[in-house]
Amino acid sequence: MSGGVHHQESLAAAVGLLDKRALLEEEALCLNVRGRAEHCRRCANACHADALALSPDALDVDRERCTGCGGCVPACPAGALRLSGFSPVRFLAALGGETHKRQHSRQALENQWRGAMC
């Protein structure tokens, strides 16, 4: 395989990792569900896409609307929302065409990431 093709495939794999960010909700932690009353709307107020539906029974994310921006995550005082993962280590591994190799040196990759950011 030529170096150019290999580089393109690695780039595509790395970009694919960026696309996989998704909002993960842990409904049982939501203050409304725990208190059986809808008093908190902080996450919904922070959402630009109107993607969250709140009730005393559920915390529902409309996956069609949600862009995975993460804007609602810091708004939640209960830690019920988080964003699935962008990982600098996995991103760099994919960029280097190493998605199927075991990473022997996590520290080396993290140092590489810091170097790339400088």
Residues engaged in binding ligand SF4 (CB under 6 A):
23, 30-32, 40, 42-43, 46-47, 49, 51-52, 54, 59, 61, 66-72, 75-76, 78, 80-81
Number of CB atoms found within 10 A of residue 41's CB? 13
Cα angle: 25, vertex 26, 27; to 5 degrees? 100
For ligand SF4, the closer of residues 31 and 113 by Cβ is: 31
CB of 113 to ligand SF4, least distance (A): 24
CB of 67 to ligand SF4, least distance (A): 4
For ligand SF4, the closer of residues 78 and 89 by Cβ is: 78
Report DSSP letters for 47-65, one per residue: -TT--EEE-SS-EEE-TTT
